[in-house]
Structure 1
C-alpha cells in the first residue's frame, strides 16, 4: 500500500535540525506507530522527494540514515524496505497513538443503563418480534431517497439544522394516521423522533420528576422502564390478564397514591401480546380524567393486524388532553428508514421540541421527505399489504409448528396482531440453561425475551423474521435442547 507520506511527515524549514534528520526521525516514529510495517516497501527516493517537496539527495540521505540505524533494509535493484527485525533501543520514540486505558478523573456510572442487548453471530437468532429485512422494498426506498437527494430544491434543506422536521412529512403522516387509526389531528400535534426510545426519553424529561409514580404492566417493556427509572420516577406494576391491564387495580392504586403516569400498550401488550378490552379502555380514560394522571399509549405494532379490525387507539377517544400517543412509522421497512413520533396537544409539543433540539438538532429532513412521498404515492400501503400476507402465513405456520413439536410443553394463544408469540411453560425449567444449550447448536436466544420468576416461566418469541425452513430448524433445536435439559437437570 502506498501512503501519502506528507500526511505523517512534516518538514520545518526554519528548524535547526537538518531536513534529512527530520524525515528520518518521523519515519522512525511512523514505524513505531505501525503506520509503516515490517517488510513494507517504501517509496523510491525520487517519489519521496516529490511528495515532501525536497531534493532527491535529501531523501537518499534519510534512507541511508535509517539503514545505518537498522530501521530499513536497502536491497539493490529491489528498493528500500522496513526492516523485518527492528532495533530494540530505549531511545526509540514512544508511539504517539498510545491512548490512556482509564480516565484520570471520576464520573457517574449508570448500572441502570447497562446495555441489555447482545449480539452473537449464530446461524439462527430469535428476537422479540422484528420484521424481516428480506421483505423490504429496497427498490422503492432507494428510488425515492435518491431522488430527494438529487433534487435541487432540497439542497437548501441540507444547509441548516432543522429539529422541526419536514412539514410535508408531518402533513402526510397526519393524513395516514387519520385514515388508518382514526386519529383526527393536525401536523402541529406531531413531533418526529428517531425511535420509540428517543420519544419516551424526551417525554420523561418533560413530564416526569424524581419521586413521581409511574404505573406499568407487571410484565412490560424493559427499555421503557429503564428510561422512566432514569428520570428518578418510582415504578409500580399492575397485573396483566387476558383482557390486558387490570384497570380495577389501577383504580385501587389511585385511591391510595398520587399517580403521575400510566404507560400502556393497549393494542398489543409487550410482552404478552394481549389487547386491552374496549370496556377497560374507556374506564382507563375515565380514571385519567378523575385522578389527573397521564396515559402514555405505546403503540409500536398497530400496522400488523391479521384476523379482525384493530380497535382504534385510546388517543382517538381522548377529549381531555390526557393521552400522549407514542408510535413508530415504517416498522416494516429497513431499520434506517424507520422513524418514531409523538402525538399530543400542541402546547406540550412546543416544550418537547426544545428537548429534541438539544439531542437531535440536525434531524433528517430528507429521509422524512422520502417517507412522505412513500405515503402520498401509496407505496407504504402496497408494501404493508404484501408483507401482511406473508406475516399472517408465518404466524399460522409458527402456531402449527409450536403445537406439533412443543404442544405438551407450552401454552400459547395465536396473536391477532404483532410479530411475536407469548409462550409459557407448563413445567418449570431453567430458561438460561436452555438458551446456553441452544447457543452450542447455533441458535441464539437473547436474555431479553426470557421471563422467569417463582410464578412464571415465559418467553416472547418473534416469528416475523423467520421463514418456514428457519422455523422448522429453530423449533427442532429447541425441542432437542429441552430433552437434553431434562437429562442434565431432571425435575
Structure 2
C-alpha cells in the first residue's frame, strides 16, 4: 500500500476535485501497467489514512473508477483493477512520467502516419491591430452593428421556437435565400429563385463544395497565371490538374483558352472577371462573350468568383457572366464577407437547382447547416433596406479612400511603385522596382508597425512579379497617410 501512496500526487489547492484527481491517477497507473488487471486495491479507510484524506473522498474516487470501467467491486472482498484489461508491460517509472495534476503536455506528433499536403501551407491573413495595408478587407468600423444586433434579437421573438432553434435546411435560412435572390436579380441581372441559392460559410466553402462535386482526379482546370490561392488549393485537393493562361490589362486571354480547348478536354475554368485577383483588372466585354461561347461549345464549367462586386466606383458595375448565361454553364460564387465584415461568414453559390441540391447533400456531411440566427439577421437587414444603405455608405467611403491612397502612392512612391488606379474593389495591385526585396521590406515594415503581404504568394511558378495587394478600404485617410510615410522612409 505504501508504494501506491508514493505514486499518487494530489493537490488540494486546485480547481480539480481531489476525488477526480485520485480517480484519474489510478486510471493512469492502470493504463501504464503499474496496476495490473485483477490486482486488489487498498481498502478505502486504509488508502484514506495513507493519503491523509477523508474516507468519503476515496469512496467517491473508487465509485468514479467503477463508473469509468477501470475498477470492479467484488462483494465481501473489496475493490480490484478490472480483470478484462490486457496485460501491459510496465514502463520504468521516471520522475517526469509520474501522474501529476499539472496540465498535460501537448502531443505534437501522432503515433500513426498521415500525409502532409504541401500546397495547403498558406499564410493566414488576419486583421492586424496596427497600421495595415491588407489584402482588401472591409472596414469593420463601418459595419451596421446596431442594426445587426436588433435583427439578432428579433430572431428570438420570431416564429415557433421548436422550429427555429432546431435543425434547419442545409441550403440556408429561407428568408436570406429569398432576400438574396431578389438582391442578386435586381443588382446583378441574374434570374434566380431561392431554389437556385445555397448559403455557405463564406465563398471559400462554396468553392470547396463546387470543386468536390464537379471535379475528379485527372480533370483539367484553367485559371489565370495569377489567381487566388484559395481556389488553387481547392482545385488541387479535388485531384484536378491546373493549366494557366496569361492575364493582361484586359483580363484572361481567351485566344489561349480557345487553343487549349482544341487540344484537350477542359472541365472547368475559374475566373474572377469583375476585378481579377490579384491584379484587379476587369475582363473585357468581348472576352466575356467569348468565354461563354467556348463554355457552350466545349461543355466546360465556368466557376465565377465575384468576391467584391458591391464596390465598383465607375458608373454601374459590369454585370457578372452569370447574368448572360443562357445554357446553365456558369456557377456563381459570392460572399458578404467583404461587404460587411470577415467575421460574418455568409457566402453563397448560385447555380441550376439540380446542382444546388447536390451541393446541399455534400454540405450536409461537412456542416449540417449554417448559422440560422446570423442568416436570419442578414436576411432581415436586406428586407428592411439597412444592408443596401450600408453598401451605399461604404461605397462612398471606400471610393474616397481609394482616391486618397492612389494620390499618396503617386506623390510619395511614384519612383518605386507602379500601379493602375482600380475601377473597383478594396485593394490596389502595386508593382515594385525589381531592386526592392519585398520579403525584407514587409518584415521591416512590420517592425515599424505597418503590416502588409510580401506578395510572394501571388508569384506564378518560377516568376517574380515584385507585386502585392495594398488594401486601402480598412484604413482611414489619416491611417493611409501614416502607412505611406512608413513605406517611404523604409524605401
State if a TM-score over 0.5 links the two structures. Answer: yes
Specify whether residues 26 and 254 from structure 1 end up closer, same or farther in structure 2 by C-alpha distance, changes over 3 A only. Answer: farther
Aligned residue number for residue 391 of structure 2: 384
**Equivalences for residues 199-238 of structure 1 within 5 A:** 199-238=206-245
Aligned residue number for residue 447 of structure 2: 440
Aligned residue number for residue 474 of structure 2: 465
Aligned residue number for residue 64 of structure 1: none
State how many pairs are aligned. 429
Alignment equivalent of 2:205, drawn from 175, 198, 207: 198
C-alpha separation between the residues in 2 aligned to 1:322 and 1:385?
Answer: 31
- Aligned residues of 1:308 and 1:416 also touching (Cα < 8 A): no
Aligned residue number for residue 8 of structure 1: 20
Q: Shift of residue 313 of structure 1? A: 0.9
Q: Shift of residue 456 of structure 1? A: 2.7
Give RMSD over aligned pairs: 3.0
- Aligned residues of 1:409 and 1:427 also touching (Cα < 8 A): no
Cα deviations by residue, 1:396-441 (Å, 9 ceiling, x for unpaired): 1001111110112222111111100011124442211211221221
C-alpha separation between the residues in 2 aligned to 1:481 and 1:401?
Answer: 15
1:415 partner SS? coil
Query: Normalising by the residue count of structure 1, what TM-score does the alignment of the two structures yield?
Result: 0.80
Specify whether residues 316 and 121 from structure 1 end up closer, same or farther in structure 2 by C-alpha distance, changes over 3 A only. Answer: closer
Q: Shift of residue 357 of structure 1? A: 0.4
Q: Is the aligned partner of 1:18 residue 2:60?
A: no
Please list every run of 5 or more consecutive structure 1 residues that lacks an aligned counterpart in the other structure: 28-44, 55-88, 483-491
Cα deviations by residue, 1:371-419 (Å, 9 ceiling, x for unpaired): 1111110010111111111111100100111111011222211111110
Specify whether residues 410 and 102 from structure 1 end up closer, same or farther in structure 2 by C-alpha distance, changes over 3 A only. Answer: closer
Specify whether residues 49 and 116 from structure 1 end up closer, same or farther in structure 2 by C-alpha distance, changes over 3 A only. Answer: same
- Aligned residues of 1:127 and 1:449 also touching (Cα < 8 A): no
Specify whether residues 256 and 6 from structure 1 end up closer, same or farther in structure 2 by C-alpha distance, changes over 3 A only. Answer: same
C-alpha separation between the residues in 1 aligned to 2:214 and 2:155?
Answer: 36
Q: Shift of residue 450 of structure 1? A: 6.0
**Equivalences for residues 112-131 of structure 1 within 5 A:** 112-117=119-124, 123-131=130-138
Q: Is the aligned partner of 1:332 residue 2:339?
A: yes
- Aligned residues of 1:306 and 1:416 also touching (Cα < 8 A): yes
Q: Is the aligned partner of 1:431 residue 2:426?
A: no
Aligned residue number for residue 404 of structure 1: 411
Specify whether residues 279 and 24 from structure 1 end up closer, same or farther in structure 2 by C-alpha distance, changes over 3 A only. Answer: farther
Alignment equivalent of 2:484, drawn from 469, 475, 489: 475
Specify whether residues 22 and 269 from structure 1 end up closer, same or farther in structure 2 by C-alpha distance, changes over 3 A only. Answer: farther
Q: Shift of residue 258 of structure 1? A: 1.1
Cα deviations by residue, 1:166-219 (Å, 9 ceiling, x for unpaired): 122111110111111111111111111101111111111111111111111111
1:312 partner SS? coil
Please list every run of 5 or more consecutive structure 2 residues that lacks an aligned counterpart in the other structure: 1-12, 27-39, 62-93
C-alpha separation between the residues in 2 aligned to 1:219 and 1:105?
Answer: 37
- Aligned residues of 1:395 and 1:464 also touching (Cα < 8 A): yes
Aligned residue number for residue 109 of structure 1: 116
Query: Normalising by the residue count of structure 2, what TM-score does the alignment of the two structures yield?
Result: 0.80
- Aligned residues of 2:175 and 2:376 also touching (Cα < 8 A): yes
**Equivalences for residues 53-452 of structure 1 within 5 A:** 93-95=98-100, 97-117=104-124, 123-151=130-158, 153-160=160-167, 162-329=169-336, 331-447=338-454, 451-452=458-459
Cα deviations by residue, 1:10-39 (Å, 9 ceiling, x for unpaired): 789x97533584497598xxxxxxxxxxxx
C-alpha separation between the residues in 2 aligned to 1:154 and 1:172?
Answer: 22
C-alpha separation between the residues in 2 aligned to 1:170 and 1:355?
Answer: 19
Specify whether residues 100 and 247 from structure 1 end up closer, same or farther in structure 2 by C-alpha distance, changes over 3 A only. Answer: closer
1:335 partner SS? coil
Specify whether residues 49 and 387 from structure 1 end up closer, same or farther in structure 2 by C-alpha distance, changes over 3 A only. Answer: farther
